Amino acid sequence: MLWVALILPPSPSDDPQAPAAVSPDALRGLAVWCLQFTPRVARMEDAVVMEVAASLRLFRGRMALKARLEDEAPDLGVCRIGWAPTATAALVLARCGITDLGDRLLQAVLDPLPLEALSAAAAHGASLNRAGVRTLGQLRGLPRGGISRRFGAGVLAALDQAYGLRPEVHGWEALPEDFHARLELPSREDRAPALLMSARPLLMQLCGWLAARHAGATGITLHWIHDSMRARDIGDQGQLTIRTAEPIRELEHFCRLLAEHLAKTQLLAPVGELRLQALGVQPLAEDSGSLLPDEVRTGETLYLTLERISARLGPQRVLQPALVDDHRLEWMTRWQPSDPATHKRASRPRPCAAPQTPEPAFLLDEPLKLAVRDHRPHYQGMLTLLVGPDRVEGGWWDRLPAQGDPAGHRNVMRDYWVAVSENAGVLAIFQERLADGEGAWYLHGVYA
């Protein structure tokens, strides 16, 4: 598991005697934004934590996701980010300004950290400091029974959760059906164009919510609440509605549209609070990630695209796969020059007998001869035969090119097996059938 903790700073309070606390609206907005990366998002004290191990490939790996979070999260008020195998450890590391473990073990990094980084231990920091205990490693070295009797079981539970010795329980954030976000401005603002800077975090939350829903919005409404110290003939709020030609969720597009409209807006009174609402939310069709998409934005299908490429480069330079009625793996599919008239016809599978064993996803260009020990084939270790044999023979009709032996042909006599290796995975292997005894073993393909 891989957890990320994003810490928000405490909000300023009008009461100097009240303890500083993180705004619930800020935490809720950050959690909604994080839902675009993973559904496993939870609020934890002054931070939002999310488990991203299953999402790394979707966002091009850990380093790419880390760079994106470090680039975008500060715009939402995030002051520190930590990565660790547990949510509690990620929160502790973030509080201490440690971004990542690197190549170090979790225990080696946590042991020298101060008690104040773990909330359950910080609550008893004064008593522990008087006893000479100032780090998490020293706290772990104390007798567990004494810690539990004097400070409660919660300290041990939090300590074990940080070190990965006890499971953590989280209340996962649910993606709201409708988007409404609120932000209280740090100071009163009387110029409409200046509202864009404060509205940008709300727009980021909106784009994160849309990404999590795989949707786009055709409009937004920005509401602003006027300061209570205003003229009597001025209402308590104002609003600005922006429409788009098609559903979008690009942050910069929303920002540009909002900036253009705010530049022509005049506020009737100073503003102290902003609210954002999404309009016309619709599912957004994702662009294909393939090299040749089935249909491009212009409406041109794949077949029309291949016709155009074939006409430009010549049919001999554009090849298409064609299924062949052949039960030998190497020759089930052949590549032939592109013919626009046969694109659709060639794409339809031809009926053929189903093999007794599943066909591998990847074939080697040439079968690889395997080592045999004690009559067992080996490839990165001993292979275990799972399914088989599936006998394949024939090919007397498939003559070799004339430059070789004119009487030769591609006749095969093989017994195929599905084998498994602890290191190489599931493989397709075969044994040649010989009249005078056992034949050699070959690796022919790899299952996905």
Domain boundary pick from 131, 162, 193: 162
Domain hosting residue 117, numbered range: 3-162
Per-residue pLDDT at 18 exceeds 60: no
Per-residue pLDDT at 442 exceeds 80: yes
pLDDT at 270 (0 to 100): 87
Residues 88 and 121 in one domain: yes
pLDDT at 362 (0 to 100): 84
What SS3 state is found at 366?
strand
Residues 248 and 311 in one domain: no
Residues 239 and 367 in one domain: no
* 240 within some domain: yes
Per-residue pLDDT at 181 exceeds 60: yes
Residues 12 and 147 in one domain: yes
pLDDT class for 349, splitting at 50, 70, 90?
very low
Residues 154 and 13 in one domain: yes
Q: Is there a contact between 364 and 431 (Cβ–Cβ < 8 Å)?
A: no
* 149 within some domain: yes
Residues 16 and 158 in one domain: yes
pLDDT class for 138, splitting at 50, 70, 90?
very high
- Which segment of 96-110, 207-221, 401-415 scores lowest on mean pLDDT? 401-415
Domain count, the chain: 4
- Burial class (CB within 10 angstroms; exposed 0-12, middle 13-18, buried 19+) of 23: middle
Which of 297 and 45 is assigned the larger pLDDT? 45
Q: Is there a contact between 90 and 82 (Cβ–Cβ < 8 Å)?
A: yes
pLDDT at 231 (0 to 100): 64
Which tens digit of pLDDT belongs to each residue from 322-341?
A: 777 777 777 777 777 776 55
Residues 122 and 201 in one domain: no
CATH of the domain at 193: 3.30.1490.100
Residues 14 and 101 in one domain: yes
* 264 within some domain: yes
* 291 within some domain: no
* 42 within some domain: yes
Which tens digit of pLDDT belongs to each residue from 107-122?
A: 999 999 999 999 999 8
pLDDT at 348 (0 to 100): 46
Residues 13 and 156 in one domain: yes
* 353 within some domain: no
Mean pLDDT of the chain: 83
Residues 9 and 150 in one domain: yes
* 406 within some domain: yes
Residues 12 and 82 in one domain: yes
Which tens digit of pLDDT belongs to each residue from 37-72?
A: 999 999 998 899 999 999 999 998 999 999 999 999
Alpha helix segments (H runs only) across 314-417: 343-347
DSSP secondary structure string for all residues of 146-190: HHHHHH-HHHHHHHHHHTTSS-----PPPPPSS-EEEEEEEEEE-
H or E element at residue 14? none
Residues 21 and 153 in one domain: yes
